[in-house]
Amino acid sequence: MMGICEPRCIMAVEASAPGKIILFGEHSVVYRGPAVALAIDRRARVIAEERGDKKIFIDAADLGIAGFFEDGGYRPVRGGMRGGVSLRAIDASARQTMKHMGISGGVSIKVSSEIPIAVGLGSSAAICVATVAAIGELLGGGLSKEEISSLAFEGEKLIHGSPSGIDNNISTHGGILRYERGGGYERYELEGGLPLIVGNTGVRRSTRVMVERVRDLWERERGTVEGIIDLLGRISSQGLDALLRGELGRVGTLMNISHGLLSSLGVSCPELDLLVHSARRAGALGAKLTGAGGGGCMIALAGVNRLEGVEEAIARSGGRPMRVSLSSEGVWVRRMTG
Q: CB-wise, 101 or 152, nearer to ligand PMV? A: 152
Q: Which residues, in sequence order, are CB contacts of 188 under 8 Å at separation 6+?
A: 175, 176, 177, 178, 240, 244
Interaction pattern, residues 290-319, with ligand PMV; x per rule: CB under 6 A: -xx---x-----------------------
Q: Could you give the 3-state DSSP secondary structure of residue 328?
A: coil
Q: Which residues of 52-61 are buried (b: 16+ CB within 10 A; e: fewer)?
A: eeebbbbbbe
The number of residues in the chain equals 338
Size of the site for ligand PMV (CB under 6 A): 17
**The only residue of 4, 10, 13, 30 in contact with ligand PMV, by rule CB under 6 A:** 30
Closest distance to ligand PMV from the beta carbon of 180 (Å): 11
**The only residue of 26, 154, 180, 311 in contact with ligand PMV, by rule CB under 6 A:** 26
The residue among 176, 177, 179 whose CA lies nearest residue 191 is: 176
H-assigned helices in 54-189: 83-101, 123-138, 145-160, 166-173
- Using left for φ > 0, alpha for ψ between -120 and 50, and beta otherwise, residue 29 falls in alpha
* CA atoms of 317 and 197, how far apart (whole Å): 14
Q: CB-wise, 120 or 239, nearer to ligand PMV? A: 120
* CA atoms of 151 and 127, how far apart (whole Å): 12
Q: CB-wise, 10 or 298, nearer to ligand PMV? A: 298
Residue 116 parent element (H or E): none
Q: Which stretch binds ligand PMV (CB under 6 A): 45-53, 79-87, 139-147, 156-164?
A: 156-164
Q: Which stretch binds ligand PMV (CB under 6 A): 23-31, 43-51, 71-79, 89-97?
A: 23-31
**The only residue of 16, 93, 149, 207 in contact with ligand PMV, by rule CB under 6 A:** 207
Closest distance to ligand PMV from the beta carbon of 214 (Å): 8
- Residue 159 in contact with ligand PMV, rule: CB under 6 A: no
- Residues engaged in binding ligand PMV (CB under 6 A): 22, 26-27, 29-30, 120, 122, 160, 163-164, 166-167, 207, 211, 291-292, 296
